[in-house]
Structure formats: C-alpha cells, structure tokens
Structure 1
Amino acid sequence: MIMDSDVVLLGTDLPSSILAAALAKAGYKIIHVDPNDYYGGDHATLNVDEIISWANLRSAPAENERANDYLAAQRDRFVSISYRGTPPPASRQYSLSLSPSIIPSVGPLISTLVDSGVSRYGGFKLLEKVALYHSPGFVQNVPNTKEDIFNNRNISLIDKRRLMRFFTFVSGDFEDKAELHGKQSVPFIEFLISTFTLERSIAETIVFALAFCSSPQEPALPALKRVRHYLGSSGRYGPSPFLVGHYGGLGELVQGFCRVSAVSGSTYILSHSPSSTPTGPLARRRYSISLTGLDETINCDLLVSSIESPEPTSVGVATGVARCIAIINKPLLFVPTEADTPPEGSPPAMDKVVDTALIIFPPSVLPGGSETTAAHVLVTGEGSMSAPKGNWILYLSMPLADSKVSAETVLQPYLEATLTLADEGHQIEPTFSLFYTQLECSSSAHDGRLLVPQITTLISECGDSAAVVAEEMFRETVRALDGLRRERGIEIAEEPIPFWPPLEGEGSNDEVEDW
C-alpha cells in the first residue's frame, strides 16, 4: 500500500507540531511520524510510570538493546540519568514535563495559540511568585509592581528613583538610545551598574530574576529585550507576566496542535520510524519512505526532520542542561526575609503557600553550588492540573559548560536547599526524583530534507522560541513546495499563504482573549 503526502514530518516536538498544524490548515497533505508511543518528543508530558520507562530506555547499556537508531541518538543526548524513590500513589495523575516552562502572557506562543484555535484545548494558571533564594528556609520576593518596589524597606529612596529611571528606559524603544550606544555587548550587570548607578544587589536581582540570565556575563542587548518583553506581559491576565500551562505545559500544547492538524486532514503514525532513507526522484513525488513494522510506503515531496530525529543530528559539543524532576508531598512556604516584610499598617501578607512559583539561585548563593551559573526551580501543584491534591512537582535546571559532571552531583545541593523551604527550614525528602543531563545537538542537512532548528532551553523563552521557529519553517517549507510545483508547471497563487488563516466562525482573532 502506498500513502501519498506533500510533506512527511519526523518528530512531534512543539515546533514540529505547530508546523504540522499550520501546513495542514493551509491545505497541504501531511503525514506526521514519531518513533515514540506518545506525542511531544523532547517536549512531552508523561506520568510517573511513563517517565521511569523513558529513563530506563535511555540509560540501559547499548549492548542490551535491539538495533534502534532513535534510541541510540536519544542515549547520546540524554546522559547521566538516575532516579530514586518509588512511584507515588495515583502515579497516573501526575503530568511531568520533559521541557518545563513559563510562558509570557504576550508573545509569539500566545499569538500562535489564539490564531490557530489551539487555545480552546489548553488551560493556564498565572505564575504566582518569582523569588530569589536567600538562605535555608528563606527567599527574597521579586517585586511585581511599582507599589511593591516602593513598599520594600530594603531599597533606599534614591535607589527606587534609579530603578524607576531604568524601568522607563527598558520599557521603551531603547535600541538607539544614548545609554546603550556602544554597550550592546557589555555584560548586563556592568551595564546596569555603570549606566544607571544601581547597587550591585539590585542589579543582580534584575539580571537573574527579571532577565533570567544564566550568567552575569550575558550581554546587555538580549537581556534588555527580555526584560522589556516580560514587563510588557504584566497585566494582560493578572499581575504576573507569566502563565503556567495545565497538565505539564508544553506537552499538553503539543497535543492541541496535533489535534488541530488531524482535524485538518493530517495522518499520524506513532511508534514507528523510517527504516530507510528517502529515495527519488519518482514520477510524481520526490521521495519514497519505508517505516519500521509497516508494509505501507510513503511517497512525499518534502521531508522535514525535528532536531531529535537520529539521522540529521549529532552531539558535537559538551554543553547542555542539567535537569531534575522531584515530587514532594509538603508545600514550600515562601517565608520572606525581614526586608520583604510589609511595612507597619500595610494589609496582611497573603498565604505563604503557593501553587506555582519560580525560585532562582544566583551564582555563589549556595555553598557547594555553581559560582558562575544560576539555577532555576519551577514549582507546580494541583492548581496547574499537574499533580494530585497535597503534592507538588519541582523542576530544577541549570546550564552546564561541562557535561562530564553528573546531573545529580550538580543539582543535589539545589534540591536540598529548596526542600528547606518546606516546613520552615526542616528538610523533607522527595517521594520520587529523577536527574538527567540534556545535551545540545548540532545538525546538518542531507538528502534534501529540511531540519527544524533546536529551540532555546531557557525556561521563560522555550515556548516563544518554538513558535518563532515553527513560523520560519512554515515559510521555508511553503517556498520549497512552491518551487517544486513551478518545476512541474503548476500555477502558484501570487498571494502569500498566511501562517494561520482566519478561524471559521470567529471575529477578529484579537478578540479572543480568554480561555
């Protein structure tokens, strides 16, 4: 049996799933293939049993494995895997993300969700708090509003004025301002101190808790753009600039895009991968592809591979991200430092227990931790639909310059410090924890296929990065298909195909503000 399509996509990670939905809605015949038995690839959401299986498959010795190119590539990318504990009760009620993220309330991903109609299939919760780790049992809250800044007794009046000057600068079109001239590549923290005469402690808060820099040496221009983006996201759905996706976040959104793609006519084939490289040319299509375990042959004009597909990728560098997923059954109590305590006469502080939060460990704040790199801890609970009542998920991540050090060695001090926030300083033990290192990949095109670039792993940018990459790949794919049609003498419409056509039965997409 022969299956016919315009495009075959390999891998259902987030950018590939967005691309599949956009191409299908534009009228192209799509076949979407994934070697896994679940959607999402490296951005998938899994329950506890599934993530243990995921870890075992990627950590088993190669000699015990049947030939599988995909698993071999995955073993090269995911290393230093270890876990402890046993699956908690109701283990299937947990939604654990392989790519934890917070989503800016204004940006490419939110626009893509609304314009595609996928927002109908997803739910979100505001990120309640961003805090800097201070000491065992204590955090320093990061102000959300100007009122929070002016009520902070640890900031002098002159520093508050300097902060307001910086916020005025960063909220506007600063690219051509005199303050930035010749300083675009200066380390961001040096730019803040020299240009706005901010105290180092205040500058560090901006660097790590507003710009989410991994290092104080990151250049000023991209960090300023992130701060402007996040400040502009405040107030759209509430006081926080960020949303946390329900049921694990990006993995749930993947399923929404795949659903839209399938409704528009795409065919999905899971648990199978190509068993032979494409061959061509054919009389009508460019390529013929065979899949493992299937008698069908797929003929297509274009093959698009995600970064996780084995053939176009290789681990050519030693950099990556150390990750940990931990499940706890006691809440973290966000006890503020004395400086964060509301002034006398202010309304009482809200409950210190939060359901969603991001804790940031700046470099050198933790004995035994990194002196050069920041670590992030995302907390999600019942309100994000990711854990049963009375349980929370901790996602720890930190960029690595040297992947030879195990993820558990790197992140265990941060996990222990985070757990001191439970029960006001008395450390608890997670019921289950998983450590692993995700290495970056390089890629090179061959046999005429298109490659979906790797997206950023920065927790506040990965969702938007996926949407931007997907739109770029949509334009590239349409150009390639148009070129083939011209070669065959097929007339091509002069009007460019929109990334997302207008939603049927809807007014302006701008009116769709709530889900």
Structure 2
Amino acid sequence: MAASVDTTLRRPSMAERRPSMAERRPSMNTRRPSVIPHLAGIEDPVFPSTPEDCDVLICGTGLVESILSAALSWAGTNVLHVDSNPYYGDTTATMTIEQIKAWCHNVNLNTPGFHGFAKALMYIPRPAKLNSRDYSIDLTPRLLFAKSDLLSLMVKSRVYRYLEFQSISNFHTFENDTFGKMSSSKEEIFTDQSLSLATKRSLMKLMKFVFEYDSEGNKQLMAEFGPTPFLKFVNDKYKLSDAQVNELCFTLGLAPTPDISTLAALARIRRYLISFNVYGSFPALYSKFGGPGELSQGFCRSAAVAGATYKLDSPIKSYDPSTQKVTFRDGTKVNVAEKVVCSASQAPEGAKNVPERKHQVNRLITIVERSCKEWFNEGESASVVVFPPKSLDSMNNYPVQVIIMGAGSGCCPAGQCIWYLSTIEKDQRGRKDLESALKKMEDSILRESEDGGFDVDLTEDDVIVRPDGSLSVINSVKLGKSFKEFAPKEKLTYLFKLMFTQFTSIDPLDSHTGAPSTTSFDDNGKNSIPGPDQGILYSQMPSTEISYDGVLAEVRALYTKIVGSDDDFFDVDFEDDDENSSPSGPPAGGVGAAAGLQDESAIIDEDGEEFKDEMDFEL
C-alpha cells in the first residue's frame, strides 16, 4: 500500500503533465521520410556515450523487441535499443561456431542474460574442418508461412528488402520406419496410387472442411467437437488411418502435442493449406543466411532509419521507477520518459517479476558432412521432417520436429547440411527422443545418398504430369520404402553437435495464436512482486513453435501497453520507387508482388468442380 501511495504522490498534475507519445507524434507534414534506404554500420554500432534521455528503453534485440523498436520509432518515439550481448538477436540470435562456444560457456555458468537456457552440451570432433564464419546457426530456428501476419508486415514495412527468402515445399512424415512426403494438394491426392478411392474421398472432405469449420453453418458442430481432441474427431468423422491423421496433425499442422484440440488443429492445418500458391507452389519460406536473427537485424535497421539509437554489450544493472532512471553495468545512466521494455533473458540482477519458465523445448543441432539434397525439392535447400508420437524406438510421447538446411541456404559450406531437431518432451526423456530421431535420419540419408551406394529407381507411381505438361516427383525423396533391413556401408560424418534446453512461459498450445499472457508483464508494479525491476515490461522467451506465428501478437500486446492502443501500429505510408518490386529469392512472383491469395487452390478446381471426373465418386 505504501508503494502505491508513493507512486500517486510522484504523479504530475494535469497542468504539468508531459504530453503522451500519441500527443507527441509528428504530423503528416513533419514525419520522417518513409523510404527505407540500405543501412551501413548497424552491424557494429559504436557510440562514445549512452544518450542521457529517451522515451522508451528496450533491452534485448530479439525478434519481438526488434519489431517493437521499429514500430515505436516509426510512430515518432525516441527509442534507445540496447543488448547485453556483443551481437544482435538475443535468444533468437544467429551465431558463428565461435559465438556458440562462448554462448555454451555462459549458459552453463548461468551468466546473467542467459537464464532462458540450460544444460548446453557441444561436441566438435574435427575442429580443423570447421571455419567458424562459414556457419550461421540459429538458436531458435523458424520457418515462415507464406500467408502470415509477420510476412505481410515485412512486405508493408519494406523490411523484406534487407533479407533474402527461399521456399520450402517438402514436408516429410516418419511412420513405420519409412519417410514419405505428404499428399496435400489436389493433384497429389488424385494421383497417389497408395490411397484407396474411399480414403481420397475422406481426405478431400476433411480438407474442404478445414476451410469452412468456422462458418456459420458449422457453429453447432464446432461447439460440440471444437474442444475435443483432434485425433478422436478426425477418426470418428472421417475414418482415416493413423498414418494419414499423423500427417495432417503433426506434419501439415506442426502440432507440438497429441493433446491438441480439434479447433486448434484445424487452424494449424488451414495455415498450411492457405499458404500454398500465394507466391508459388510451396507453403513456407525461410530467410537465407539465418532465421530470426536475420529478421531481427532487418527490423533493427528499419528502426535505426526511423531514429532509434543502438548500443550493444550494454547490460542493465537496475531501474529506479521513482526517478525513471536506468543504470547500466558500466555505470552510465539514462532517463526514461515513458517505459522500459526488457527481454526476460536480460532482466536486471535480482529481478523478481520476470515471466516464469513454465515450459521447455529440448533442441539438438547437428552439422553433417553430406549435401542431403535427397531431402529437398528441385531448386530448394531446405525441408521439414516430423516424427509423430510413438514413431521412434524411444516411444516418444511428443512429436520430434526437424528443419533441415542445406548449403544453398547460406548457413553452411557446400557438401554440408544443418539439422535442427526439437521436442517439447522434458529433460532426459526429451534428449533420448532427439537422439533416436537423429539415428533414423542418419540411416535414411546414408541409404538414399548419391554416394551411399544404394540406388533406388523412380517408378511411374512416383511421378505425375502437371496441367502445364511438366513432371513432378511425388516422392521427391525415395524414403518411402522401409529401411529396416538396410545395413549402411559407411558412417555419417558429424562435424558439430549441440544439445540444450530452452525455456519459455508460453504454453505450446497457445503459441500458434500467440497472444502473450499479460500477467507476466509488470505495469507499474501491478501483478508483480516488488523488486529492483519494478515498473519494467517483460517480453516472453521465444515459444516452442517452429513457425513465426504468435510473434506479432506479442509485439502488439507490448505496443498497446506502451502507447495505449495498437491503432497506429506501423501506420506509415512506406513509399517505394518500384511498387511491384519483389524480394530476392526463388519464389515465383516474389513476396512483394501483388499475388492474390487463392485459399482453396490446393483442393478446388478453377472451374469450381471439387473432383476430377475420373475419381468417379460423390460426396
């Protein structure tokens, strides 16, 4: 109660009150130029001293904080953006091998700024083969769905111009000791010889329902079945096999747990389907040379153009809410007029109201001396592999998700590949699941490698003719045949292994829709334990999600707490000399092109017919 009285006594009267940020916004006649030029020098900012004043101080250059910095800066706010690390990205950083070594050391020492991670184990058997700067390794790997709020924001804000995107079209499921590519488009389902007519009909019915489940006509059905487990719903209503349900739920939907509800699973599957044919015949993209760490730097550049000041290697020591003064560890101080926003990983020493570490994801990152091109579609350098629950020798309770990055991604040298494996299974059980999945991947790539001595010929069942006359390989990776009896003639060479645990306060089932828990934000001492960080707004640790979904929801929540609403969030006319220009990379039409979204292009014929004549069945 005393603290509350003190706060009231310090509040200025209306007559002397400083204008709010909304009131101090520049008018349309005085706003900063809207064209974002290329920036030089932000990679290594050097300032002789910390500025004496700012409106908002943001600590941590993770993706959430970087987007927030750009949004506030373009709205006319004076932002000082710092990071306790000597590099950008914080918990979503993209690192070299040498940076990873130092990172592991700090994690295991429980160094301030690294509390979001634990139990980092690194193994480099052949150091001479690794040139540190040849590698870009993501702490928190992500893929970007073509139809997503974050991609739309990058196009609108022109941040995509700092990045280069490549497509991902191969999503593989491991089941019964085999790998297979999911038949998710209309033509693939029609031509898949392994599916019966009844199964094809059920799949088409379900995929059609995915687009309509939230319509008025399905309100009563979803009220009844929406909260129920998806696996039960789809088995009862559509009579699909376990393998097909796994492909839909865990590969297309990337569900992190078998406990997912019908409503949540349908939203995830639709996310995949509506992302097809937005910019090309693929559902997802990734940024070349690194994931969230690259995106973070893109938004930091945008913020710097709008006037934000950057300073790295500057951990904060304390914040005094009575004077609104922040003290950094080097003794310098800054007066903050509005708010302090801090990454949970960079909280001041002795902080009490940091978001709880309720959930975790175990990660295993490996660099293999193999091109792994058999996993990729033609012209691509990345793919996704999912091990559904109970598919591994360890009898995994949760899926293991894998993002594979080849040399074409710019993250490793030619002839090598990076595998990112993750699971929300905890502790040693989770690490066992990761090792079990790694062994299956090793066996499969040795079996299918171009120099592994195991040749597999494509058959006519593996190839379809597209409407334009071109050929497409359905099973682009011939991993659909069991390798139970396969005895490899060689061993896969590992150049690097890194295993660690990452913590988050975001529930895995909430990470897709992504509104963060507001109780973890401290608003002038409310809902918090008094401490030296009282009055700081904390951002969350990255979620367990392997997509970027939920990131923008958290940024908007923080923006609203600072400004009062998100009505003017990135409300800037970003002009450009060439409105039809597109970001670099292979996607046809480009991310910046005015490509129309065809929501049902994956399952509906252009002429409105739901099924081809030769299918010879009706709904």
The one-letter code sitting in structure 1 at the alignment partner of 2:421 is L
Partner of 1:469: 554
429, 432, 437: which one pairs with 1:409? Answer: 432
| Larger of the two Rg values belongs to structure | 2
Asked if the contact 2:400/2:433 (under 8 Å) is kept, the reply is no
Q: Larger % of helix: which?
A: 1
Cα distance in 2 for residues equivalent to 1:144 and 1:197: 18
Partner of 2:328: 291
441, 444, 448: which one pairs with 2:535? Answer: 448
* Structure 2 counterparts to residues 105-184 of structure 1, below 5 A: 105-134=146-175, 138-172=178-212, 174=214, 176=216, 177=218, 178-184=220-226
Cα distance in 1 for residues equivalent to 2:140 and 2:212: 31
Q: Secondary structure at the match of 1:412?
A: helix
Partner of 2:481: none
283, 295, 305: which one pairs with 2:342? Answer: 305
* Structure 2 counterparts to residues 341-356 of structure 1, below 5 A: 355-356=381-382
Q: Please say if 1:8 is aligned against 2:31.
A: no
Q: Please say if 1:274 is aligned against 2:359.
A: no
The alpha-carbon distance between structure 1 residues 473 and 506, as it changes in their structure 2 partners (threshold 3 A), is farther
- 1:128 Cα shift? 3.3
Cα distance in 2 for residues equivalent to 1:133 and 1:313: 42
The one-letter code sitting in structure 2 at the alignment partner of 1:430 is Y
Asked if the contact 2:149/2:552 (under 8 Å) is kept, the reply is yes
TM-score by length of 2: 0.70
- 1:509 Cα shift? 9.4
Cα deviation, 1:291-320, whole Å, max 9, x if unaligned, reads: 111434343321112232323665745631
- 1:269 Cα shift? 1.4
Partner of 2:591: 514
29, 37, 55: which one pairs with 2:86? Answer: 37
Cα distance in 1 for residues equivalent to 2:567 and 2:145: 29
411, 417, 435: which one pairs with 2:499? Answer: 435
Structure 1 stretch 264-273 or stretch 407-416: which is displaced more? 407-416
Partner of 1:419: 442
The one-letter code sitting in structure 2 at the alignment partner of 1:368 is S
Asked if the contact 1:274/1:289 (under 8 Å) is kept, the reply is yes
Partner of 1:252: 294
Asked if the contact 1:306/1:453 (under 8 Å) is kept, the reply is yes
220, 223, 226: which one pairs with 2:262? Answer: 220
Q: Secondary structure at the match of 1:450?
A: strand
Q: Please say if 1:69 is aligned against 2:140.
A: no
Structure 1 stretch 312-321 or stretch 267-276: which is displaced more? 312-321
Identity of aligned pairs, percent? Answer: 27
* Structure 2 counterparts to residues 295-334 of structure 1, below 5 A: 295-310=332-347, 311=351, 316=356, 319-332=359-372, 334=374
Cα distance in 2 for residues equivalent to 1:499 and 1:316: 30
361, 364, 369: which one pairs with 2:390? Answer: 364
Question: Which structure 2 segments of 5+ residues have no match?
Answer: 1-48, 448-485, 507-519, 526-533, 584-589, 593-619
Asked if the contact 2:407/2:417 (under 8 Å) is kept, the reply is yes
Q: Secondary structure at the match of 1:431?
A: strand
Instruction: Please report the RMSD computed on the Cα atoms of aligned residues, expressed in angstroms.
Output: 2.6
Cα distance in 1 for residues equivalent to 2:136 and 2:85: 17
Higher relative contact order, structure no. (Cα contacts within 8 Å, ≥ 6 residues apart): 1
- 1:263 Cα shift? 1.3
Cα distance in 2 for residues equivalent to 1:288 and 1:225: 44
Cα distance in 2 for residues equivalent to 1:249 and 1:70: 21
Cα distance in 1 for residues equivalent to 2:429 and 2:243: 31
Asked if the contact 1:332/1:421 (under 8 Å) is kept, the reply is no
Q: Secondary structure at the match of 2:361?
A: strand
Q: Secondary structure at the match of 2:282?
A: coil
Asked if the contact 1:315/1:439 (under 8 Å) is kept, the reply is no
Partner of 2:615: none
Asked if the contact 1:115/1:500 (under 8 Å) is kept, the reply is no
Cα distance in 2 for residues equivalent to 1:439 and 1:269: 26
Cα distance in 1 for residues equivalent to 2:335 and 2:113: 19
Cα distance in 2 for residues equivalent to 1:173 and 1:188: 13
TM-score by length of 1: 0.84
Asked if the contact 1:124/1:384 (under 8 Å) is kept, the reply is no
The alpha-carbon distance between structure 1 residues 334 and 188, as it changes in their structure 2 partners (threshold 3 A), is farther
Partner of 2:117: 78
Q: Secondary structure at the match of 2:535?
A: coil
* Structure 2 counterparts to residues 366-405 of structure 1, below 5 A: 366-370=392-396, 372-400=397-425, 402-403=426-427, 405=428
The one-letter code sitting in structure 2 at the alignment partner of 1:514 is V
Structure 1 stretch 503-512 or stretch 372-381: which is displaced more? 503-512
Cα distance in 2 for residues equivalent to 1:225 and 1:409: 30
Cα distance in 1 for residues equivalent to 2:377 and 2:88: 39
Structure 1 stretch 114-123 or stretch 464-473: which is displaced more? 464-473
Figure out how many residues of one structure are paired with residues of the other and give that number: 466
The one-letter code sitting in structure 1 at the alignment partner of 2:560 is R
Asked if the contact 1:45/1:251 (under 8 Å) is kept, the reply is yes
Asked if the contact 1:24/1:266 (under 8 Å) is kept, the reply is yes
Cα distance in 2 for residues equivalent to 1:358 and 1:121: 25
